[in-house]
């Protein structure tokens, strides 16, 4: 039998274990979505932190292109051409094609080309990054070698090495990426060049039927206009310049179609479209061929998912940091486009998208929350441990906003694998290997509940159609991947993982200063009022909107940020240039001071009722319907009407405003023009009106009395004089004398 004191000890240990277990379960419950256990309530998004944590930089660096210096004589000598198939499996050998180029000014001879593979499994994303950046050394096995013929300067030699998979199976059986080296050695067997790549191995063939779960992956690409350079500012109409990069716009729509064909899922690549481009686009009259906008409409009809961006793609961070009101933020992010075009009903909800590759701050999210339900985070908000679904939900005051978190490492690899620009030494094939390697590592770390990730491509992505089709086809044929529409990610449950916080507020290079933002926002608000009054609003929209929105765009931010980052950049000169260009844009917007004016002079009202005259000058390029609104600062004056008048373009219109005076005195009257809908068009001005309400009555009485007195005086004078004496005709005259009566008349 156990002694009593031992029994007491065991009981105390059991009690301690129960208390500890209860605490753990309590903590788990505190971190779970709100709602009673077993209920089916929708989880309540976490409240936006009122006292945010300090920003912690993302611990992962950008993906390297695989070129390793290591003080080698010829570091950029090797270029990877292809790896087929991308993932090695039993029963199929792998072919690696690469090119060796003499980048020196001398003829090279006696060199060897080698392919080496390490059996070491790269099981973490940080380890993968270390290998690709050249900071990790591995032990490798030479799989194949071949001598390089004599290479004159600039000459190249292509090689295709076969990797016998059956032999490789003896090295390791674990699935995942392994370091692969392409090297060039000299006659002393010393390396003179090296390119780090990856060999992807999957020893067991999986399928959707046998795999318990698949890794989710969604794609979205922005469709924005061409950069209008400083040299083009003031050169004419902006819409044709915005649409000048027609090849890139068409390529983006074609990429969405390629993704649809390759995956069998029409929404595999969603598009975030600047609606201003579609509103301004039309059929190419020069060729008679459909424009990219027509192709977009056809793609949407076939199931391509489109999410509208704010018109003209404004820099949301600059707006958020400029201390403007929510109403002013709405004016910019909901800019009026043409009256004949509106976003189609089959487009999805609008989406907020800050500048590419930057971690958005909480100020930007707060500003966007009242206007947008969806928000792309191009970087940041990564989980502190591991990789989780790229989705978060935050509550800002009374608004809930869904944060779609881009996996910037995956996006970088896909961008380099598919962009029309050269992909560096690794080439499209090597960059695609990087993407697949990342996905394999993520899946192996989350085999039970794989996350759903987002690839949000940057605005300058110009897809190469062949590379894009190959990439989506390769991903679609990978059984452990699920290429799903963006809507699938949006509808995923929000993970409860601890994440790095967004910074509280962070201004990045190239961002427009607050005072200049406010100038443009005020002009844009005026434009909105003019548009509501104009009889030809499309004329104003076409000419004025782009001029005002251009300096606020992400494209301009990126342009000046890149220019300022140059080694010999003159930042003060660039800042001054940008400020001058903003003034040019304000002038080009046809909203310089006096676009519409109302003038009147101080006057005296001597009657109880009358009309006050005003001149309205319309300097707009179209006729406008405006209302004259008078607001007296004193109750002694009543405004009887607010006349609505149509003022032709370039004309001056005289208008009378009827008023009624209650009592005499000087009254200050505020005068302004409004559109028919009530939008203020001109800045309110003050006019002094002198009211002498009894003067007209008194004057009339006085004049009447004077006239009456004169009339009576005339009568009295006539009476006093009496009748005049009788007069006789001169001698010798008769009544028939023609001098007296002319009978002929």
Whichever domain contains 646, its CATH number is 2.60.40.10
d(C-alpha 623, C-alpha 732), whole Å: 85
Question: Average of pLDDT values for 631-651?
Answer: 88
Q: Say what the pLDDT of residue 56 is.
A: 32
d(C-alpha 436, C-alpha 669), whole Å: 72
DSSP states of 663-732 as a string? S-EEEEEEEEEEETTS-B-S--EEEEEEE-TTHHHHHHHHHHHHHHHHHHHHHHHHHHH-PPPP--PPTT
Q: Say what the pLDDT of residue 438 is.
A: 95
Question: Would 265 be classed as within a structural domain?
Answer: yes
Report the chain's mean pLDDT, rounded to a whole number.
Answer: 81
Question: Would 523 be classed as within a structural domain?
Answer: no
Q: Give the global pTM.
A: 0.79
Q: Is the model's pLDDT at 451 over the cut of 80? A: yes
Nearest to 671 by CA among 642, 646, 693, 651: 642
Q: What is the pLDDT of residues 360-410, one digit of tens each?
A: 999 999 999 999 999 999 998 888 888 999 999 998 888 899 999 999 999
d(C-alpha 382, C-alpha 501), whole Å: 8
Question: Would 495 be classed as within a structural domain?
Answer: no
**Does residue 290 share a domain with residue 196?**
no
d(C-alpha 417, C-alpha 467), whole Å: 7
d(C-alpha 632, C-alpha 594), whole Å: 24
**Does residue 346 share a domain with residue 480?**
yes
**Does residue 390 share a domain with residue 284?**
yes
**Does residue 224 share a domain with residue 193?**
no
Q: Say what the pLDDT of residue 599 is.
A: 85
d(C-alpha 55, C-alpha 506), whole Å: 10
Q: Which of 652, 675, 695 is the last residue of a domain?
A: 695
Q: Residue 530: which pLDDT band, with cuts at 50, 70 and 90?
A: confident
Q: Is the model's pLDDT at 654 over the cut of 50? A: yes
Question: Would 632 be classed as within a structural domain?
Answer: yes
Question: Would 70 be classed as within a structural domain?
Answer: no
**Does residue 402 share a domain with residue 261?**
yes
Q: Say what the pLDDT of residue 208 is.
A: 43
Question: Average of pLDDT values for 624-628?
Answer: 92
Residues in the chain, total: 745
Q: Which of 466, 490, 514 is the last residue of a domain?
A: 490
Q: Residue 541: which pLDDT band, with cuts at 50, 70 and 90?
A: confident
Question: Would 270 be classed as within a structural domain?
Answer: yes
**Does residue 443 share a domain with residue 321?**
yes
Q: Is the model's pLDDT at 47 over the cut of 50? A: no
Q: Residue 638: which pLDDT band, with cuts at 50, 70 and 90?
A: confident
Q: What is the pLDDT of residues 277-323, one digit of tens each?
A: 998 886 444 444 558 888 999 999 999 999 999 999 999 999 999 99
Q: Residue 145: which pLDDT band, with cuts at 50, 70 and 90?
A: very high
DSSP states of 288-351 as a string? -PPPHHHHHHHHHHTT--EEEPPTT-B-HHHHHTTT--HHHHHHHHT----TT----TTS---E
**Does residue 461 share a domain with residue 384?**
yes
Q: What is the pLDDT of residues 71-108, one digit of tens each?
A: 788 888 999 999 999 998 887 889 999 999 999 999 99
Whichever domain contains 396, its CATH number is 3.20.20
d(C-alpha 541, C-alpha 533), whole Å: 12
**Does residue 219 share a domain with residue 197?**
no
**Does residue 461 share a domain with residue 376?**
yes
Q: Is the model's pLDDT at 740 over the cut of 50? A: no
* Domain, as residue range, for 125: 78-201
Q: Say what the pLDDT of residue 29 is.
A: 37
* Better-scored residue on pLDDT, 310 or 640: 310
Total Cβ atoms within 10 A of residue 478: 21
Q: Is the model's pLDDT at 62 over the cut of 60? A: no
Residue 97 near residue 81 (C-beta atoms within 8 A): yes
d(C-alpha 554, C-alpha 310), whole Å: 11
Decide the pairing of beta strands 191-201 and 87-88.
Answer: parallel
Q: Residue 226: which pLDDT band, with cuts at 50, 70 and 90?
A: confident
Question: Average of pLDDT values for 242-247?
Answer: 85
Question: Would 469 be classed as within a structural domain?
Answer: yes
Q: Is the model's pLDDT at 150 over the cut of 50? A: yes
* Better-scored residue on pLDDT, 13 or 247: 247
Q: Residue 209: which pLDDT band, with cuts at 50, 70 and 90?
A: very low
Q: Say what the pLDDT of residue 15 is.
A: 42
Question: Would 10 be classed as within a structural domain?
Answer: no
Q: Residue 745: which pLDDT band, with cuts at 50, 70 and 90?
A: very low
Q: What is the pLDDT of residues 473-499, one digit of tens each?
A: 999 999 899 999 999 999 999 998 889
What percentage of the chain exceeds 90 in pLDDT? 42
Question: Average of pLDDT values for 543-553?
Answer: 85
Q: How many domains does the chain have?
A: 3
How much helix, strand and coil, in percent to the nearest 5, is found in the chain? Answer: 30, 25, 45
Q: Say what the pLDDT of residue 705 is.
A: 61
Q: What is the pLDDT of residues 572-590, one digit of tens each?
A: 888 888 888 888 888 777 5
Least trusted range by pLDDT, from 117-121, 352-356, 689-693: 689-693
Least trusted range by pLDDT, from 247-251, 289-293, 405-409, 696-700: 696-700
Q: Say what the pLDDT of residue 114 is.
A: 96
**Does residue 224 share a domain with residue 153?**
no
**Does residue 440 share a domain with residue 358?**
yes
The radius of gyration of the chain's CA atoms, rounded to the nearest angstrom, is 41
Residue 465 near residue 247 (C-beta atoms within 8 A): no
Q: Which of 456, 490, 524 is the last residue of a domain?
A: 490
**Does residue 279 share a domain with residue 197?**
no
Q: What is the pLDDT of residues 504-527, one digit of tens each?
A: 988 888 899 999 999 999 888 888
């Amino acid at each position: 039998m156990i002694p009593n004191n031992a029994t007491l000890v065991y009981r105390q240990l059991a009690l301690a274990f129960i208390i500890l277990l209860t605490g753990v379960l309590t903590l788990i419950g505190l971190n779970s979505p709100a709602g009673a256990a077993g209920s089916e309530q929708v989880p309540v998004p976490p409240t936006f932190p009122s006292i945010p944590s300090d920003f912690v930089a993302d611990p992962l660096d950008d993906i390297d292109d695989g070129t390793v210096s290591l003080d080698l004589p010829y570091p950029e000598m090797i270029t990877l051409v292809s790896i087929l198939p991308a993932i090695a499996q039993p029963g199929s050998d792998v072919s690696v094609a690469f090119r060796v180029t003499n980048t020196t000014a001398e003829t090279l001879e006696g060199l060897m080309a080698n392919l080496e593979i390490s059996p070491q499994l790269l099981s973490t994303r940080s380890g993968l990054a270390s290998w690709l950046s050249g900071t990790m050394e591995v032990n490798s096995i030479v799989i194949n070698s071949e001598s390089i013929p004599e290479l004159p300067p600039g000459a190249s030699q292509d090689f295709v090495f076969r990797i016998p998979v059956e032999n490789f199976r003896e090295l390791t059986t674990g699935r995942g990426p392994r370091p692969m080296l392409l090297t060039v050695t000299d006659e002393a067997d010393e390396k003179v060049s090296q390119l780090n790549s990856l060999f992807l191995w999957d020893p067991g063939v999986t399928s959707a039927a046998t795999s318990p779960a698949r890794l989710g992956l969604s794609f979205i690409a922005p469709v924005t206009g061409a950069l209008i350079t400083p040299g083009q500012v003031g050169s004419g109409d902006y819409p044709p310049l915005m649409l000048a990069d027609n090849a890139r716009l068409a390529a983006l729509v074609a990429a969405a179609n390629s993704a649809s064909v390759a995956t069998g899922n029409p929404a595999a690549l969603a598009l975030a479209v600047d609606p201003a481009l579609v509103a301004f686009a039309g059929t190419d009259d020069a060729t008679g061929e459909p424009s990219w906008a027509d192709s977009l409409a056809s793609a949407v009809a076939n199931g391509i998912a489109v999410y509208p961006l704010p018109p003209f793609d404004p820099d949301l961070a600059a707006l958020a940091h400029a201390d403007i009101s929510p109403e002013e933020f709405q004016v910019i992010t909901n800019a009026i486009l043409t009256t004949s075009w509106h976003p189609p009903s089959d487009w999805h909800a609008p989406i907020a998208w800050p500048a590419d590759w930057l971690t958005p701050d909480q100020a930007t999210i707060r500003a966007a929350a009242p206007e947008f339900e969806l928000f792309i985070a191009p970087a940041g908000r990564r989980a502190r441990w591991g990789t989780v679904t790229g989705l978060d939900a935050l509550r800002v005051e009374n608004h809930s906003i869904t944060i779609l978190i881009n996996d910037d490492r995956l996006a970088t690899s896909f961008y380099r694998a598919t962009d029309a620009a050269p992909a560096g030494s690794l080439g499209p094939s090597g960059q695609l290997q990087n993407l697949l390697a990342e996905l394999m590592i993520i899946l192996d770390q989350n085999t039970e509940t794989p996350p759903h990730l987002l690839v949000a491509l940057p605005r300058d992505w110009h897809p190469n159609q062949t590379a894009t089709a190959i990439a989506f086809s390769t991903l679609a044929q990978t059984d452990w991947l699920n290429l799903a529409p963006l809507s699938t990610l949006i509808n995923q449950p929000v993970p409860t993982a601890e994440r790095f916080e967004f910074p509280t507020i962070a201004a990045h290079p190239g961002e427009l200063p607050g005072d200049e933002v406010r100038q443009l926002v005020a002009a844009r608000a005026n434009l909105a009022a003019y548009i509501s009054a104009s009889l030809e609003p499309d004329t104003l929209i076409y000419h004025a909107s782009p001029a005002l929105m251009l300096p606020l765009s992400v494209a301009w931010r990126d342009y000046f940020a890149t220019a300022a980052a140059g080694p010999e950049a003159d930042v003060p000169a660039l800042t001054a240039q940008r400020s001058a260009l903003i003034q040019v844009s304000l002038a080009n917007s046809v909203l310089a001071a006096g676009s519409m004016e109302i003038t009147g002079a101080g006057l005296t009202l001597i009657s109880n009722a009358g009309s006050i005259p005003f001149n309205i000058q319309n300097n707009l390029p179209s006729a406008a319907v405006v209302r004259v609104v008078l607001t007296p600062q004193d109750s002694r004056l009543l405004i009887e009407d607010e006349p609505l008048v149509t003022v032709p373009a370039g004309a001056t219109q005289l208008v009378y405003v009827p008023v009624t005076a209650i009592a005499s005195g000087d009254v200050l009257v505020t005068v302004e023009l409004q559109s028919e809908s009530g939008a203020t068009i001109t800045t309110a001005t003050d006019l002094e009106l002198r009211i002498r309400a009894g003067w007209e009555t008194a004057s009339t009485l006085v004049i009447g009395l004077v006239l009456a007195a004169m009339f009576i005086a005339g009568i009295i004078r006539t009476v006093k004089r009496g009748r005049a004496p009788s007069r006789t005709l001169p001698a010798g005259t008769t009544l028939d004398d023609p001098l007296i009566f002319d009978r002929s008349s």
